Structure 1
């Protein structure tokens, strides 16, 4: 089962979508894999959890619900907004700044460009971006907001990390070994090889190309990696394969995930099969904490997710960490409610 800290992190993401529900730590085992830190109190406090949390006030009627502003202006204090209102504000900004013709993965841009987009709308977001800059995070690589942004961002950064590894040959060998094992895992839960092998080969060849020349005699570079991920056929094939892996991990380790499978809009619990079919296997469906945990575990990678949500204390940004590989350089993602980009910062 999943540790209590991981349970709290699941709770945080669910609160953002449809309010609070109880994940009782007493039911969680302590011998789980490394878990991300607990969510900041400001997020959990956004919803009235008194009726669902053990040990809370037995008379919740004495605790009136928090009132949130119905009209939001540039002068509105973001700390008074509900998680749903923050999500909607960020989605509106993404809609204004997105372009249906935007590349699936874009070239690096200074994080100052992101800051400029928030200057006239949210001082709290600007303060958090300033914090990231002060910590050495200088650039972002945007992904198209099509519901596949988490998987595409992870895939790109996964291969990019191999390019910049101190020992690329060793890093590639390790990655290829892990990827080869995933094929057997897919077959063990009922996938036929003919269903996934074409998707697998796109990622496999890209990883090999880090150290081995392709048919044109060239090894992979930053430029050709970007070209590959801007190619819909290649890019989407990799996304589909990562979704298959995510689904496989959830099905192979049901004890770790069953308690956290909920519909993102209604909050209703889902069976593993329904959850995977509706929210993992289908493209265009956003990734939540369950999917993030499953994918990082099956690939044995580390991912740090910076939460740009306007709620950090004194402008600080909370990082949620998924750690499955000792001493490996983590992939860093920037999460804004409903969207993931790649965050580039100090070398670690």
Structure 2
């Protein structure tokens, strides 16, 4: 509806996605944190949909536990990140274990409620930003060629890039942040680029393959210039975060 009276190239791309079963988006608030918020929600949601929830949660928790050491290795103080970590850990654990307040297992409705709560949602966003920063700092040789100032086009040092464009809230993510975070979380991510540039209406996908557990489906996001939402197949509800 947003595009039907506008650019025909965007409409063609939307039609192309729908023909391939992508019928919905879960809209994410456009505050500069949309990539991290979208990925975090989809990261937990896919655990809810896993055939073997127990195994999926165990895999996720091993990865998250290892991420704590990553943060300490690059100099983040435990006091700074442990509360953010506990919020994400609590949601993941709640997929298979009742929470301490209501005594209920996490479901789609309570997951949505959690992410619509600013304290919960922003804590998780902050943890993922710090984790992305840690991944970049731990492998500077790999990422340095791609660290460019978004306004000046000048190359940046890893530390400077992380402080200005990763750790700071409200800063949009680009390919380098996507790559680093998918690697840190050991997940597969597909990002569909709805940008009006596809040939004959086709949509280009960026695919990141970092999961050792190949049974889990990729996290799928929709990118429109300056914004990320969650891209959904079939008839899953698309309420906003």
TM-score range, shorter chain: over 0.9
Once the two structures are superposed, residues 76-117 of structure 1 have per-residue CA deviations (whole angstroms, 9 ceiling, x without a partner) of: xxxxxxxxxxxxxxxxxxxxxxxxxxxxxxxxxxxxxxxx11
2:133 is the alignment partner of 1:256: no
How far is 1:225 from its partner?
Answer: 0.1
- Give the match for residue 239 of structure 2: none
Output the CA distance in 2 between the equivalents of 1:319 and 1:191: 34
Output the CA distance in 2 between the equivalents of 1:228 and 1:243: 19
How far is 1:286 from its partner?
Answer: 0.2
Unpaired runs of at least 5, structure 1: 1-115
Q: What's the TM-score, normalizing by structure 1? A: 0.66
1:117 is paired with a residue whose SS is coil
Match for residue 222 of structure 2 among 315, 334, 339: 334
Displacement over 2 Å in runs of 4+:
none
Once the two structures are superposed, residues 197-220 of structure 1 have per-residue CA deviations (whole angstroms, 9 ceiling, x without a partner) of: 000000000000000001211000
- Give the match for residue 205 of structure 2: 319
2:233 is the alignment partner of 1:345: yes
2:49 is the alignment partner of 1:164: yes
Match for residue 133 of structure 1 among 2, 14, 18: 18
Q: Greater RCO between the two (CA within 8 Å, min separation 6)?
A: 2
Output the CA distance in 1 between the equivalents of 2:143 and 2:197: 28
Output the CA distance in 2 between the equivalents of 1:171 and 1:324: 15
- Give the match for residue 246 of structure 1: 132
Match for residue 296 of structure 1 among 170, 176, 182: 182
322-331 vs 274-283, greater mean Cα deviation:
322-331
Q: How many residue pairs end up in the alignment?
A: 232
Once the two structures are superposed, residues 124-165 of structure 1 have per-residue CA deviations (whole angstroms, 9 ceiling, x without a partner) of: 100100010000001100001100000000000000000000
Output the CA distance in 2 between the equivalents of 1:222 and 1:339: 23
Output the CA distance in 2 between the equivalents of 1:117 and 1:337: 14
Match for residue 90 of structure 2 among 205, 226, 232: 205
Output the CA distance in 1 between the equivalents of 2:69 and 2:125: 19
Match for residue 5 of structure 2 among 101, 120, 123: 120
How far is 1:169 from its partner?
Answer: 0.3
Output the CA distance in 1 between the equivalents of 2:80 and 2:18: 44
Output the CA distance in 1 between the equivalents of 2:50 and 2:4: 36
2:98 is paired with a residue whose SS is coil
How far is 1:190 from its partner?
Answer: 0.8
Q: State the Cα RMSD in Å.
A: 1.0
Once the two structures are superposed, residues 183-234 of structure 1 have per-residue CA deviations (whole angstroms, 9 ceiling, x without a partner) of: 0111111111111000000000000000000121100000000000000000
Once the two structures are superposed, residues 278-309 of structure 1 have per-residue CA deviations (whole angstroms, 9 ceiling, x without a partner) of: 00000000001110000000000011000001
Unpaired runs of at least 5, structure 2: 236-241
How far is 1:119 from its partner?
Answer: 1.0
Match for residue 168 of structure 2 among 272, 278, 282: 282
How far is 1:346 from its partner?
Answer: 5.4
- Give the match for residue 228 of structure 1: 114
1:267 is paired with a residue whose SS is coil
- Give the match for residue 99 of structure 2: 214
